[in-house]
Amino acid sequence: MRVLGIDPGTAVTGYGVVRREGTGIALSECGVIRTKAREPLASRLEEIYEGVRELIARHKPDAVAVEDVFYARNVRTTVVLGHARGVILLAAQQAGLPLHEMPPAVIKKAVTGTGNATKEQVQFMVAKLLRLKKAPEPADASDGVAAALACCMAPVLPSVADALAALPRARAMRT
Amino acid sequence: MRVLGIDPGTAVTGYGVVRREGTGIALSECGVIRTKAREPLASRLEEIYEGVRELIARHKPDAVAVEDVFYARNVRTTVVLGHARGVILLAAQQAGLPLHEMPPAVIKKAVTGTGNATKEQVQFMVAKLLRLKKAPEPADASDGVAAALACCMAPVLPSVADALAALPRARAMRT
């Protein structure tokens, strides 16, 4: 099972691809999709959409895990973030992939054991769980990896069970 | 000049296509893209995206006018609406079309003369300006038409001037 995890953002969208390997989990790739602040929103959305489509084409994940909107931020920022999430969900849907949406606190809890972990704690545990010498940089990339890890590590949650149940269908739609 | 106006919504996205005809403006088509509430958000976003792409392919507009988010609503609703706007902006961007984003009050003012007009006033003026026997139904369709009208009727606004300036490029990108 291979999962693409995404931490959406209009300026920086973090991502990570992890795969189950025997009894452990290994990192395939992580990084960020960066857009230019001076570009119009529509053009930045296209870059994010193309970036996610390219990742799906390259890694052929079995599921996509996307961090949910964090509502405590500034409303305007949150709404613009909604635009970015929209084109990410669209890319996953078009690839016929099961989608796993998780609030930041659920991802943090799955990876560190506590829902209000700091960015540093998340980075530390991401490195630990994947046996990396140091945590992925920038923190957005770590957050993308954390989303993928949370999806892999919680196969008892109903939503992941749904994702697993949907796998043969998703594979069929790709071929 | 032909303009596609859109009033975004996850459940109902209203649209209208208007064209300049001599000294007046005529309606080419209007309607709504309706999605099912029981479908997952990603699937609804795909329907909206495909619907807008189909409208662009059929009418070959010179510009797209999209109603801006109205921030006074419930925050969660507004963020979900942001997702829908995201895939609409993406469709316009992919077609290389100049995009004209307008707050609801600006559209209302352009069409009725007042920024706090009621839905009924907007519908009345849309019918009047386009010499229709009755206003487009549902109100979402009228709102889509109003966005297109506001874009057509306000060629002195800088953003529309930008849109007009960008037209040859947009045409070139389409051919």
Whether B133 shows a pLDDT value over 60: the answer reads: yes
B166 in reach of chain A (CB within 8 A): no
Closest CA to B7 of B130, B103, B71: B103
Backbone region of residue B31 per phi and psi (left: phi > 0; alpha: psi in -120 to 50; beta: other values) = left
Residues in chain B: 175
Minimum distance, in Å, between the CA of residue B125 and any CA atom of chain A = 30
What pLDDT is recorded for position A75? 85
Whether A167 shows a pLDDT value over 90: the answer reads: no
Best B93, B97, B100, B169 member to test A by mutation, with max A CBs in 10 Å, is: B93
Whether B79 sits inside 8 A of A84 (CB atoms) is: no
Q: Which residue has the tokens 């920038």?
A: A138
B89-118: buried (b, 16+ CB within 10 Å) or exposed (e) per residue? bbbbbbbebbbbbbebebbbbbbbeeeebe
A77 in reach of chain B (CB within 8 A): no
Minimum distance, in Å, between the CA of residue A81 and any CA atom of chain B = 8
- The H-assigned helical ranges of chain B are 41-59, 75-94, 104-112, 119-129, 139-153, 158-165, 167-174
Q: Which residues of chain B does A69 touch, with a Cβ-Cβ cutoff of 8 Å?
A: 79
What pLDDT is recorded for position B157? 44
Whether A54 shows a pLDDT value over 90: the answer reads: yes
Higher pLDDT, A20 or A12: A12
Whether A90 sits inside 8 A of B45 (CB atoms) is: yes
Whether A140 shows a pLDDT value over 70: the answer reads: yes
Q: Which residue has the tokens 């975004």?
A: B8
B71 within 8 A of A76, measured Cβ to Cβ: yes
B71 in reach of chain A (CB within 8 A): yes
What's the mean pLDDT in A32-57?
Answer: 97
Residue B113 tokens, joined:
């003369």
Minimum distance, in Å, between the CA of residue B112 and any CA atom of chain A = 27
A135 within 8 A of A8, measured Cβ to Cβ: no
Whether B59 shows a pLDDT value over 60: the answer reads: yes
B72 in reach of chain A (CB within 8 A): no
What's the mean pLDDT in A108-137?
Answer: 94
Q: Note which residues in 32-51 of chain B have CB less than 8 A from chain A.
A: 40-43, 45-46, 49
What pLDDT is recorded for position A9? 94
A49 within 8 A of B88, measured Cβ to Cβ: no
pTM of this prediction exceeds 0.90: no
Average per-residue pLDDT in chain A?
Answer: 89
The single residue of A62, A140, A143, A162 carrying the catalytic annotation is A140
- The pLDDT > 90 percentage for chain A reads 77
Half-sphere exposure of B35 (CA within 13 A, CB side): 24
A132 within 8 A of A148, measured Cβ to Cβ: no
Half-sphere exposure of B121 (CA within 13 A, CB side): 13
The single residue of A7, A21, A68, A143 carrying the catalytic annotation is A7
> How many contacts (CB atoms, under 8 Å) link A and B?
84
pLDDT-derived band of residue B160, with 50, 70 and 90 as boundaries?
very low
Separation of alpha carbons B81 and B145, rounded Å? 19
What pLDDT is recorded for position A166? 52
Collapsing DSSP states into helix, strand and coil, what is residue A8? coil
Q: Note which residues in 87-106 of chain B have CB less than 8 A from chain A.
A: 87, 89-90, 92-94, 99
What pLDDT is recorded for position A23? 82
What's the mean pLDDT in A88-105?
Answer: 96
Whether B45 sits inside 8 A of A89 (CB atoms) is: yes
Whether A86 sits inside 8 A of B81 (CB atoms) is: no
A126 within 8 A of A143, measured Cβ to Cβ: no
Strand partners, A7: A14
Separation of alpha carbons B84 and B54, rounded Å? 16
* Overall fold of domain B2-174: Nucleotidyltransferase; domain 5 (3.30.420)
Whether B72 shows a pLDDT value over 80: the answer reads: no
Residue A14 tokens, joined:
């973090």
A4-35: buried (b, 16+ CB within 10 Å) or exposed (e) per residue? bbbbbbbebbbbbbbbeeeeebebbebbbbbb
Q: Which residues of chain B does A90 touch, with a Cβ-Cβ cutoff of 8 Å?
A: 42, 45-46, 49, 86-87, 90
Torsion of CA B121, B145, B100, B62, to 10 degrees: -150
What's the mean pLDDT in A108-120?
Answer: 94
Active site residue A140: yes
Is the ipTM reported for this complex over the cut 0.90? no
Nearest residue on chain A to B10, judged by CA atoms?
A: A86
Q: Who contacts A120 (Cβ-Cβ below 8 Å, separation ≥6)?
A: none
